[in-house]
Structure formats: C-alpha cells, structure tokens
Amino acid sequence: MATATASAHLLFFFLLIVAPVWDLYAIPKLKRNPSSENKIRYYKMICGWMWIGSALAVAAIGYRPLFTINPSPAEISWLLPHRWVCYLVEALMAITFIIIVVLPAGMVMRKKLMKRPLKYSAGAAALKSFGYFLPATWTERRWWVFVSITAGVCEEILFRGFMLHYLHVFPWTLNLTLALLISSVIFGIHHLYQGASGVAGTAIFGTFFGLLFLLTGNLLLPIILHAVMDLRLLVILRPPADAPA
C-alpha cells in the first residue's frame, strides 16, 4: 500500500511539474531544428514516457479504478441528478466533435472525390504555426498514427483515470467537480507549446473527456474519441506528393 501511494505521488509530481518543464526545454529545441529525425525522436520520447506513466498508474491504483468510475449523484450534483443537464452536455460534446472532426474530414473527402485533394500546404491556417511538430513526410505520418493512439490511450489513463482517482478518491478527497477542473487544467498545461489559447482549448477538451468519462462510467469512449481527434490531422494535412518516405 505504501509503495502504491508513493508511486501515485511520484506520478502526479511528474505530470504536474516534470513533463511540462521538460517540454519547455524540448519544444524550443525542436522549433530551431524541426528535421524529420528530430520530430521522430520527439515522438518517441513522448510515447515512451506516456506508456511508462500509464503502466505506473495501473500499478499504483489498479486496472478497474483506472478505467471505470461510478460516481453517486451527490458527488457531482449539478450534473448526474438532472437528465436535461446531461443531455445538454452530451449535445455540446457531440456538436464540438462534429465541428472539429467530422466537418473537416468531410470537406477533405469531398475534395478528394472531386479530384481536388488537399496538399499539406493547404492545411488549416491555425495549424501552420505547428509545422515543426506536425507530420510532413510519410515516415512521420506513420509515427503520428502511433502518437495519436498513444495520446488517446495514455492521456486518458493519466489525466482522467489516474488524476480523478488521485484527486477525488485517494490520497486526496477533493470534490469531484474540482478534481475534474484541476485535472483538465494540468492537461492544458501539458500543451504549453500551443500558447495560451492552446492551453485553454486543451483544458476545455480535457473537461469534455472527463465529463464523458463520468457520464459513461468507462474510459473507452474518451480514449477512442481522443485518438480520432489526433488522427484527423492525417486527413486534413496531406504531405506533398514528392515528400520523402
């Protein structure tokens, strides 16, 4: 028990302090030299620590408490006892998913069917500033599949499953709503490379994924939707025809 508690404390400290500080060092370095080799090295690094962290989370609190949750209505009284609030939250999440994922993918597929496929340079203007990080070659795109799956699985395990348990159940016993907000803010801080707007937007999505976890009682759907949201970039941003493999 003491070992598991120490592991949970260590993992929380890593997520709160170490990983964001490391990114403050690694991202500027990547920006200065965004070669394919450096991108892939960064992809490997983030995948490595997320899988190790997820394994540590499972060891610290167990599989079932990590992947399932069954809060009582009293624990989150503004949401669960009111069906209309649940429906409203579900509708907002569905609309957001459609706007962020379905519509852009649909537009790309439409242009492809009209024999007007998008090129990488025609990607959304908001994403161009992240070219140092986003996949531009076929090798990078193959790695991006693994990065997206890793983010979907591991970030949900770490920032929803582990964080909510750590903050709300043990060793802390914070109000579930407060635990959700804190975990979402920490999730946003992990995306400092996107700037203040990126941190805020990511924190909002973290809250959505957390609410989905609470509403479904299972981490599976948040994992799938998270991975799909990251994978959509492979549809929106296509590499140039002469991109090296």
**pLDDT per position in the chain (245 positions), as tens?**
677 789 999 999 999 999 999 988 899 999 999 999 999 999 999 999 999 999 999 999 999 999 999 999 999 999 988 898 999 998 988 998 888 888 877 776 776 667 665 544 444 455 677 888 999 899 999 999 999 999 999 999 999 999 999 999 988 999 999 999 999 999 999 988 788 888 999 999 999 999 999 999 999 999 999 999 999 888 887 666 555 55
pLDDT recorded at residue 122: 43
The DSSP-derived string for the chain is: -HHHHHHHHHHHHIIIIIHHHHHHHHHHHHHH---HHHHHHHHHHHHHHHHHHHHHHHHHH-HHHHHB----GGGGTTTTT-HHHHHHHHHHHHHHHIIIIIHHHHHHHHHHHTT-PPPGGGS-HHHHTTTTTS--SHHHHHHHHHHHHHIIIIIHIIIIIIHHIIIIISS----HHHHHHHHHHHHHHTTGGGHHHHHHHHHHHHHHHHHHHHHHSBSHHHHHHHHHHHHTHHHHSPPPTT---
Q: How many CB atoms lie under 10 A from the CB of residue 2?
A: 6
The pLDDT value given to residue 168? 96
pLDDT score of 244: 55
pLDDT of res. 91: 92
pLDDT value for 186 = 96
Contact 43, 147 (CB under 8 A): yes
Q: Dihedrals φ, ψ of 68, to 5°?
A: -130, 155
Whole-prediction pTM value?
A: 0.91
Rg, Å, the chain Cα set: 19
Taking the chain, what is the end-to-end CA distance rounded to the nearest angstrom? 49
Task: Write the CB contacts of 29 (distance below 8 Å, at least 6 apart in sequence).
Answer: 38
- Determine the pLDDT at residue 243: 55
With vertex at residue 147, the alpha carbon angle to CA 158 and CA 125, rounded to the nearest 5 degrees, is: 110
φ, ψ for residue 35, nearest 5 deg: -70, 160
Q: Would you state the pLDDT for residue 220?
A: 95
